[in-house]
Protein backbone atom coordinates (compact mmCIF):
# COMPACT_ATOMS: atom_id res chain seq x y z
CA UNK A 1 0.00 0.00 0.00
CA UNK A 2 1.33 3.43 -0.89
CA UNK A 3 1.43 5.90 1.99
CA UNK A 4 2.72 9.35 2.85
CA UNK A 5 4.38 10.18 6.16
CA UNK A 6 4.81 13.70 7.48
CA UNK A 7 8.11 13.49 9.37
CA UNK A 8 9.84 15.99 11.65
CA UNK A 9 13.35 15.45 13.01
CA UNK A 10 14.55 17.53 15.96
CA UNK A 11 18.30 17.25 16.59
CA UNK A 12 19.09 18.18 20.20
CA UNK A 13 22.32 19.53 21.72
CA UNK A 14 24.04 20.02 18.36
CA UNK A 15 25.45 23.11 16.68
CA UNK A 16 24.21 22.13 13.23
CA UNK A 17 20.56 21.33 12.69
CA UNK A 18 20.88 20.87 8.94
CA UNK A 19 23.56 18.12 8.96
CA UNK A 20 21.45 15.47 10.76
CA UNK A 21 18.31 16.44 8.84
CA UNK A 22 20.15 16.21 5.51
CA UNK A 23 21.59 12.83 6.49
CA UNK A 24 18.13 11.59 7.48
CA UNK A 25 16.69 12.61 4.10
CA UNK A 26 19.61 11.03 2.20
CA UNK A 27 18.98 7.70 3.93
CA UNK A 28 15.30 7.79 2.97
CA UNK A 29 16.04 8.81 -0.62
CA UNK A 30 18.74 6.12 -0.82
CA UNK A 31 16.04 3.58 -0.03
CA UNK A 32 14.02 4.71 -3.04
CA UNK A 33 11.50 6.90 -1.21
CA UNK A 34 10.22 10.23 -2.48
CA UNK A 35 11.19 12.95 0.01
CA UNK A 36 9.90 16.51 -0.20
CA UNK A 37 11.65 18.74 2.35
CA UNK A 38 9.44 21.52 3.70
CA UNK A 39 10.03 24.23 6.32
CA UNK A 40 9.01 22.26 9.42
CA UNK A 41 8.84 18.68 8.18
CA UNK A 42 9.39 16.38 5.23
CA UNK A 43 6.77 14.49 3.22
CA UNK A 44 7.93 10.92 2.62
CA UNK A 45 6.04 8.84 0.06
CA UNK A 46 6.41 5.17 -0.79
CA UNK A 47 5.21 1.66 -0.09
CA UNK A 48 4.28 1.24 3.57
CA UNK A 49 6.80 -1.51 4.39
CA UNK A 50 9.63 0.52 2.86
CA UNK A 51 8.56 3.77 4.57
CA UNK A 52 8.37 2.21 8.04
CA UNK A 53 11.60 0.22 7.64
CA UNK A 54 13.43 3.28 6.28
CA UNK A 55 12.19 5.56 9.08
CA UNK A 56 13.45 3.00 11.61
CA UNK A 57 16.80 2.68 9.81
CA UNK A 58 17.29 6.46 9.53
CA UNK A 59 16.30 7.06 13.16
CA UNK A 60 18.69 4.39 14.46
CA UNK A 61 21.54 5.65 12.26
CA UNK A 62 21.14 9.23 13.47
CA UNK A 63 20.64 8.15 17.09
CA UNK A 64 24.15 6.65 17.01
CA UNK A 65 25.59 10.17 16.53
CA UNK A 66 22.97 12.64 17.80
CA UNK A 67 20.30 13.10 20.40
CA UNK A 68 17.18 13.33 18.25
CA UNK A 69 13.42 13.36 18.43
CA UNK A 70 11.37 12.04 15.52
CA UNK A 71 7.69 12.85 15.15
CA UNK A 72 5.61 11.52 12.27
CA UNK A 73 2.07 11.05 11.02
CA UNK A 74 1.10 8.49 8.39
CA UNK A 75 -1.78 8.51 5.93
CA UNK A 76 -2.97 6.06 3.31
CA UNK A 77 -5.19 8.74 1.73
CA UNK A 78 -2.33 11.03 0.73
CA UNK A 79 -1.03 11.97 -1.70
CA UNK A 80 -4.04 12.78 -3.84
CA UNK A 81 -2.43 10.97 -6.79
CA UNK A 82 -2.40 7.75 -4.78
CA UNK A 83 -6.10 8.02 -4.06
CA UNK A 84 -6.87 8.63 -7.75
CA UNK A 85 -4.68 5.69 -8.79
CA UNK A 86 -6.35 3.34 -6.30
CA UNK A 87 -9.78 4.49 -7.48
CA UNK A 88 -8.87 3.70 -11.09
CA UNK A 89 -7.60 0.25 -10.08
CA UNK A 90 -10.88 -0.53 -8.33
CA UNK A 91 -12.87 0.56 -11.38
CA UNK A 92 -10.80 -1.73 -13.63
CA UNK A 93 -11.29 -4.79 -11.38
Which comes out higher in pLDDT, residue 91 or 39? 39
Residue 89: which pLDDT band, with cuts at 50, 70 and 90? low
In a domain, 16, yes or no: yes
The domain total for the chain is 1
For residue 31, give its domain range. 2-88
In a domain, 78, yes or no: yes
In a domain, 69, yes or no: yes
Question: What integer is the mean pLDDT of 47-66?
Answer: 97
- With 80 as the cut, is the pLDDT of residue 88 above it? no
What percentage of the chain carries pLDDT values higher than 70? Answer: 84
Query: What are the DSSP calls for the chain, one per residue?
Result: -EEEEEEEEEEES-S-SHHHHHHHHHHHHHTT-EEEE-SS-EEEEEEHHHHHHHHHHHHHHHHTTSEEEEEEEEESS-SHHHHHHHHHHHHH-
In a domain, 93, yes or no: no
Which CATH number is 58's domain given? 3.30.70.930
Check residue 77 and give its pLDDT: 86
Amino acid sequence: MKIRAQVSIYPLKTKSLSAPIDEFCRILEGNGLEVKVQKMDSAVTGESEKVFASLKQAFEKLAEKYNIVMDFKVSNTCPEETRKRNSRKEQNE
